[in-house]
Chains A and B, each alone.
Chain A
Amino acid sequence: MTELTGTQTAPAPSSSMRIDSIPLVLFAAFAAAPLLASASGAEGYVLSLLTRIMIFGLAAMSLDLILGYGALVSFGHAAFLGIGAYAVGILASHGIEDALIQIPAALGASALFALVTGAISLRTKGVYFIMITLAFAQMLFFLATSLAPYGGDDGLTLPNRSLIAGAGLLENDYAFYAATLLCLIGAYLLSRAIVTSRFGRVLRGTKENAVRMEAVGFQPFRFQLAAYVISGMMAGLAGWLMANQAEFISPAFMTWQRSGELIFMVVLGGLGSLHGAIIGAAAFLLLEEFLPEILHAASFLLNDDIRSRLTENWQMVFGPLLILIVLFARGGIMGLLRRPHHG
């Protein structure tokens, strides 16, 4: 089995400055976006779309932490989104609506789930790891569908967003947007600190050559498990945000298709750069949202019937687009950004 490495060459020193400016530009854009939203006249919609992008960006980045840096392909990461979301739903339906209780509960539950399933899953390698993480996520999915008091398959509408110390600060879309951005930046800085630390270097070392790391006295298992737990907690936080953004929870948050989407976002953006995952999430969600309209606009010469069929079948364009990206843009979008500076 080939390892999941090798497509990425280290950026040349001259281009590293450029690469490092990308996260700054990215977060500055997120910070400035609300201005655009209020100018657009559809602020709730624009904010909701951007908030979703940041939430998925957070989830995808948490996956990148173990996938891009540890070569651990979790095909069950949506389970943590579900745990975070159900922490909101279950606590809220028992009258506990304060984020100060909900967030620790979401993080704690995610950590526990990650610890138990990670300890078992990390015994396996490669595709076996992919499938066993899927298995645990599926168990949780079916458990959620059987929770009749919390809506079962239909899910549960939340009466309002979570409170902060008893105050409904998050009801305002701008405030919620700011809170999400804060979570994203915080998680990014934490992840950045982790990957540049000794811990991160060991993690990357186990990805390159686990046997050698063991030989020099590190136990890869412990490092991988710790990374898995941290990653799970970040995704759990994304789940908490997602429930509050949609003001709704449902088992649909943790289908295996959703886990797959998270992997695609990471690969689309480019592995192992953290902000690449956020860009991947943005690209994925924006395409999903606007591809139908782009197709509609681009086909203005055709008659109405063909146009509506084309827009309805936008996935017939999306699919080949993904294939082309893989074939011609190695290293995802980050790979594209890097390329001009090579050589």
Chain B
Amino acid sequence: MTATLLLIQTLNGLQFGLILFLIAAGLTLVFGVMDFINLAHGVQYMIGAYLIAAFSAWTGGFGWGLVLALPTALAFGLLLEVLVFRHLYERDHLDQVLATFGVILFLNQGVKFVWGAAPLSVPVPDILSGSVEIADGLLYPVYRLAIIAAGLLVAALLYVLVNFTRVGMLVRAGATNPQMVSALGVNIKRLFMIVFGFGAMLAGFAGAMVAPILSVQPGMGDNILILAFVVIVIGGIGSIRGAFLAALLIGLVDTIGRSFAPNLLRLVLDPSAASQTGRAIAPMLIYIFMAGVLFFRPSGLFPVKR
């Protein structure tokens, strides 16, 4: 019984971690390559969710909705880049934080203005609805498995892109030594646009994928943004590999810790004290984990060499 429960929780942690990875990947690239803190990355996730809600209602299907939502998220990311972000690359981090916070305020209120304050709903696509029995009496939703598959697919795609293409080579070079890359005559402006647009689209994709299982509402990107920052800091800024590993670790620590912390505490405390302490500690777990990692590795698990 406990073994199957552990299996399910591991799957859950994996799925949560992969969603985090989709968001963190773009964030860590933009940060690593462009040295740009983009707080507005979370609202791009929110925009992805709103776009799929709008487009899947309009086309009547999730698949077509996704086909329309992804390029729109990309276009929206590029629009923001041209309007706001590209004027901030030369600025220091605090200016970037302030300006991108302005973008958050505007867009959080903006989606409310356009779509209303009430949460929106996106139906689970028909072919992915329902559950499969993965162990005796334990059902697991097909859509969750689809999220895991999609997340792994994107991770693999990113691996190939970053390691075996010219753009990927430039991205890697840019993360370690941006001056050198521009000195070599690469159009750094265009590289930045590509990286930025791609990151925005990944965040939008994550938003679109979770829309059928979560509520689509204003401000939904704010908390996930903080988690994404936790992920990229643990992984080491600029490192896709680090972000992948850290995202899965955070997903697992949060999910498994939450359901097993009280049980573990019961070994040393009496049941009521264990459940009380467990409840107090559970939400802190990922922050304790981050502080621990940074204590031993102040530049994250995979520091990018400078």
Which residue of the partner chain, among B104, B229, B284, B306, contacts A139 with CB atoms under 8 Å?
B284
Confirm or deny: A23 has a beta carbon within 8 angstroms of a beta carbon on chain B: no
Confirm or deny: A316 has a beta carbon within 8 angstroms of a beta carbon on chain B: yes
Chain B residue with the shortest CB-CB distance to A68: B94
Confirm or deny: B294 has a beta carbon within 8 angstroms of a beta carbon on chain A: yes
**When the two chains form their complex, are residues B92 and A268 in contact, meaning their CB atoms are under 8 A apart?**
no
Binary interface encoding of chain A residues 247-275 relative to chain B, with 1 for a CB under 8 A from any of its CBs, else 0: 00000000011001001100110010000
Which residue of the partner chain, among B97, B98, B295, B300, contacts A123 with CB atoms under 8 Å?
B295
The distance from the CB of B4 to the nearest CB of chain A, in whole angstroms, is: 30
Which residue of the partner chain, among B101, B112, B287, contacts A264 with CB atoms under 8 Å?
B101
Tell me if B's interface is mostly helix, strand, loop or mixed.
helix
List A contacts of B222 (CB < 8 A). Answer: 257
Which residue of the partner chain, among B91, B105, B237, B295, contacts A127 with CB atoms under 8 Å?
B237
**When the two chains form their complex, are residues A128 and B284 in contact, meaning their CB atoms are under 8 A apart?**
no
Pick the interface stretch among A87-95, A104-112, A171-179, A321-329: A321-329
**When the two chains form their complex, are residues B93 and A326 in contact, meaning their CB atoms are under 8 A apart?**
no
Which residue of the partner chain, among A135, A309, A315, A320, contacts B287 with CB atoms under 8 Å?
A135
The CA of A40 and the CA of B99, in the complex, are separated in Å by 35
**When the two chains form their complex, are residues A4 and B94 in contact, meaning their CB atoms are under 8 A apart?**
yes
Confirm or deny: A7 has a beta carbon within 8 angstroms of a beta carbon on chain B: yes
**When the two chains form their complex, are residues A326 and B298 in contact, meaning their CB atoms are under 8 A apart?**
no
The CA of A313 and the CA of B222, in the complex, are separated in Å by 18
Which residue of the partner chain, among A2, A139, A146, A256, contacts B288 with CB atoms under 8 Å?
A139
A132-B291 in contact given A123-B298, A267-B98, A326-B99 (Cβ < 8 Å): yes
Which residue of the partner chain, among A125, A143, A260, contacts B298 with CB atoms under 8 Å?
A125
Confirm or deny: B88 has a beta carbon within 8 angstroms of a beta carbon on chain A: yes
Give the number of chain A interface residues (Cβ < 8 Å): 48
The CA of A318 and the CA of B233, in the complex, are separated in Å by 30
Confirm or deny: A217 has a beta carbon within 8 angstroms of a beta carbon on chain B: no
Which residue of the partner chain, among A124, A132, A263, contacts B97 with CB atoms under 8 Å?
A263
Confirm or deny: A156 has a beta carbon within 8 angstroms of a beta carbon on chain B: no
List A contacts of B63 (CB < 8 A). Answer: none
**When the two chains form their complex, are residues A143 and B102 in contact, meaning their CB atoms are under 8 A apart?**
no
Chain B interface bracket (under 10, 10 to 19, 20 to 34, 35 or more): 35 or more
**When the two chains form their complex, are residues B280 and A142 in contact, meaning their CB atoms are under 8 A apart?**
yes
**When the two chains form their complex, are residues A267 and B94 in contact, meaning their CB atoms are under 8 A apart?**
yes
The CA of A73 and the CA of B93, in the complex, are separated in Å by 10
Which residue of the partner chain, among B35, B101, B279, contacts A260 with CB atoms under 8 Å?
B101
**When the two chains form their complex, are residues A146 and B280 in contact, meaning their CB atoms are under 8 A apart?**
yes
A313-B112 in contact given A7-B95, A73-B94, A327-B99 (Cβ < 8 Å): yes
Confirm or deny: A6 has a beta carbon within 8 angstroms of a beta carbon on chain B: yes
**When the two chains form their complex, are residues B98 and A322 in contact, meaning their CB atoms are under 8 A apart?**
yes
Confirm or deny: A308 has a beta carbon within 8 angstroms of a beta carbon on chain B: no
The CA of A325 and the CA of B291, in the complex, are separated in Å by 34
A315-B109 in contact given A123-B298, A326-B95 (Cβ < 8 Å): yes
The CA of A110 and the CA of B102, in the complex, are separated in Å by 31
Q: Give the most central of A146, A309, A323, A325: most B CB within 10 Å.
A: A323
A and B contact pairs by CB, cutoff 8 A, 30 listed: A1-B35, A7-B91, A7-B92, A125-B298, A126-B93, A127-B237, A128-B233, A128-B298, A128-B300, A131-B229, A131-B230, A132-B294, A135-B291, A138-B287, A139-B291, A142-B283, A143-B284, A267-B98, A271-B94, A309-B113, A313-B113, A315-B108, A316-B105, A320-B102, A322-B101, A322-B102, A323-B99, A323-B103, A326-B95, A330-B95
Residues of B whose CB lies within 8 Å of any CB of A are 31, 35, 37, 84, 87-88, 91-95, 97-99, 101-110, 112-113, 222, 226, 229-230, 233, 237, 279-280, 283-284, 287-288, 290-291, 294-295, 298-300, 306
Known A5-B92, A146-B279, A316-B113; further 16 A-B contacts with Cβ < 8 A:
A2-B93, A4-B93, A4-B94, A7-B95, A123-B294, A127-B237, A132-B294, A135-B230, A135-B288, A135-B291, A142-B280, A142-B283, A309-B113, A316-B106, A319-B102, A330-B95
